[in-house]
């Protein structure tokens, strides 16, 4: 049985996520270098977070192409917010832009989906799956 559903643009997306999204409304900052090497920044609002990603909205449009690496950081006074994944306790996180949504007619800001460059958690082997016993071959 296929557990995928059709997402935007009729692309299949997985129904199950590696980590749960948490709806937030936290001020943050993005910093990146443009094509000429000039440092740029934007104040954004984080709308939802997970262990491996964050979706932010910018009140003014920014020119950030897909796959551009950015530095993401929450404002100092909200880093200790309850319920945030552990990866957000760091001062700065490197992230890659993987989706850009333009501002809509209702005046909502430009959206950016960021994939955090954090090492995935190692999953412990389940107790039901044990390593096979050593086998000795004889001739």
Q: What global pTM score does this model have?
A: 0.71
Q: Please write the tens of the pLDDT for every residue from 75-86.
A: 988 767 778 888
* List of domains in the chain: 18-116 (2.40.10.220)
Is the pLDDT assigned to residue 7 strictly greater than 60?
A: no
Instruction: Please state, in angstroms and rounded to a whole number, the distance separating the CA atoms of residues 38 and 60.
Output: 19
The pLDDT-based confidence of 128 (bands split at 50, 70, 90) is very low
Highest-pLDDT range among 16-20, 60-64, 84-88: 60-64
Higher-pLDDT residue of 136, 60: 60
């Amino acid at each position: 049985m296929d557990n995928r559903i059709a997402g935007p643009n009729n692309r299949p997306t997985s129904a199950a996520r590696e980590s749960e999204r948490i709806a937030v409304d936290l001020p943050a900052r993005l910093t990146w270098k443009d094509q000429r090497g000039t440092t740029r920044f934007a104040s954004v609002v984080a709308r939802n977070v997970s262990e491996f990603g964050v979706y932010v909205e910018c009140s003014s449009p920014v020119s950030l192409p897909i796959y551009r690496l950015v530095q993401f950081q929450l404002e100092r006074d909200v880093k200790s917010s309850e319920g945030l994944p552990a990866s957000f306790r760091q001062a700065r996180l490197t992230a890659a832009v993987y989706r850009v949504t333009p501002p809509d007619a209702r005046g909502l800001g430009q959206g950016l989906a960021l994939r955090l460059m954090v090492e995935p958690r190692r999953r412990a082997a389940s107790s039901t799956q044990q390593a096979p016993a050593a086998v000795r071959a004889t001739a």
